[in-house]
Amino acid sequence: MSRILDIEDIDDIAAGAAVLGCGGGGDPYIGALMTCQSLRGGAPVRLVASADVPDDALVIVIAGIGAPPVLVEKIPNGSESELALRFLEKHLGRRADYLMAAEIGGMNSLHPLQVAAKVGLPVIDADGMGRAFPKLEMTSFHIHGIPVTPMVLANERGDLMLMQTTSDQQAEHFVKHLAVAMGGIMSSAGFALRGAEVKCAAVSGTVSICQDIGRALRESRRLRQDPFDALLAAMHATEYYCHAHLIFEGKVADVERRVTGRHNLGQARIEGPDGVMEISIQNEYLIASRNGRTVAIVPDLVAVLDEDTAQAITAESLRYGQRVRVLAASVPPIMRSEAALRVWGPQAFGIDEPFVPIEQLMAAGD
């Protein structure tokens, strides 16, 4: 099954991806602007179900890499991802048949759509996380033994870097330094998969889920309904994110952040009628504690939402004085597997706590 995406679809996908991205993945507003511009001047973008991709098709994963705060100040010129794609195709000796997102979060959910409008390729309705994560090895592709390299990196000046490494962790080590050398933000083309690998290794249907969430928020505004009711209803209707709960509301009392390499690190403190919530940040919101008790923990979702609109606030946009609500939700089953938790569980981020699913944490708090 496939369908053509229009401008309204792009805005909906951006809004939904911002929620699922846990504050990371780049600014969704910038991503939507760039994608809509490409759509207006380019080819129609066709979204294809992963089950319909031929087994021998070549699929290239497109993503932005770098520190999200840099993206707000230095917007890409729009050619970077296409340059990276074409250089990787030249290296592989074959043209790509499909594009796909590395993660569902912020701008990175839109990167392949933006490139697709320029080069006329279809995009697969799937990604490698079902949320956003800060490191190259933190993908479902990696869990299935599919390497990120060969990978091409491109910046706004047209500099290109072809990388082949012995492991995804080694690629992450190099990229951490290259991100600084190449201007703090860059685009990438990598994870050259076959269609058969997409079917077993990707998290399917996530672009459509983003669109459903974004559409629910948009319709709630049009009908003047409670956007949080609409958001929760949309998430409860999904297979992956059905355990979704609002876990706190209040005012942002303090945000401490620093940019280290390609990561935005920090802590946020939110004060409200039910006490204090603290959230740890590494590009994404990782763990939320209420009055000293953990109420949501990575890889489950933690999202900070505007109190009036339920629009997600990215980690780099979180500011003192904002009135917010905090959402927590479950993730796709593969993200909670034993093999996966070794790569992106709490210990991978230096958090000395075990992973406990949100549904268990909520039941324990009753």
The kind and range of the H/E element at 132 are: none
**Confidence at residue 140, expressed as pLDDT on a 0 to 100 scale:** 96
pLDDT grade for 180, boundaries at 50, 70 and 90: confident
What percent of the chain shows pLDDT beyond 70? 96
Contacts of 145 (CB under 8 A, 6+ apart): none
User: In the structure encoding, which two tokens stand for residue 319, read together?
Assistant: 């500011």
**Confidence at residue 260, expressed as pLDDT on a 0 to 100 scale:** 67
Q: If you ran DSSP here, which 8-state letter would residue 3 be given?
A: E
pLDDT tens profile 17-57: 999 999 988 888 888 988 999 989 888 999 999 999 999 99
Phi, psi of 35 (to 5 degrees): -70, -45
Mean of pLDDT values over 131-145: 95
Q: How far is CA 27 from the centre of its chain?
A: 10
Strands 151-154 and 58-66: unpaired
Query: What is each CA distance from 12 to 29, 75, 92, 127, 211, in whole angstroms?
Result: 11, 21, 34, 17, 5
Residue 338: how many other CB atoms lie within 10 Å: 7
Give the span between the Cα atoms of 61 and 48, in whole angstroms: 14
**Confidence at residue 28, expressed as pLDDT on a 0 to 100 scale:** 86
**Confidence at residue 42, expressed as pLDDT on a 0 to 100 scale:** 81
pLDDT grade for 263, boundaries at 50, 70 and 90: low
**Confidence at residue 69, expressed as pLDDT on a 0 to 100 scale:** 67
Q: If you ran DSSP here, which 8-state letter would residue 333 be given?
A: G
pLDDT grade for 226, boundaries at 50, 70 and 90: very high
Residue 341: how many other CB atoms lie within 10 Å: 17
**Confidence at residue 257, expressed as pLDDT on a 0 to 100 scale:** 82
DSSP, collapsed to helix, strand or coil, labels residue 221 as helix
Least confident of 32-46, 67-81, 245-259, 291-305: 67-81
pLDDT at position 154 over 60: yes
Q: If you ran DSSP here, which 8-state letter would residue 106 be given?
A: G
Q: How far is CA 223 from the centre of its chain?
A: 29
Least confident of 72-81, 107-116, 231-240, 293-302: 72-81
**Confidence at residue 29, expressed as pLDDT on a 0 to 100 scale:** 87
Q: Are 68 and 314 in contact (CB under 8 A)?
A: yes
Strands (E), 195-292: 203-204, 244-260, 263-272, 275-282, 284-290
Q: How far is CA 346 from the centre of its chain?
A: 18
pLDDT tens profile 56-82: 999 999 999 876 667 677 778 889 999
Q: What is the DSSP string of 79-96?
A: -HHHHHHHHHHHHHTS--
Give pTM, 2 decimals.
0.94
User: In the structure encoding, which two tokens stand for residue 58, read together?
Assistant: 């070549």
Q: Which has the closest alpha carbon to 106: 140, 138, 80, 129? A: 129
Q: Which domains does the chain have, with CATH numbers?
A: 2-204 (3.40.1610.10), 242-365 (2.40.390.10)
Phi, psi of 341 (to 5 degrees): -65, -25
Q: If you ran DSSP here, which 8-state letter would residue 312 be given?
A: B
pLDDT at position 13 over 80: yes
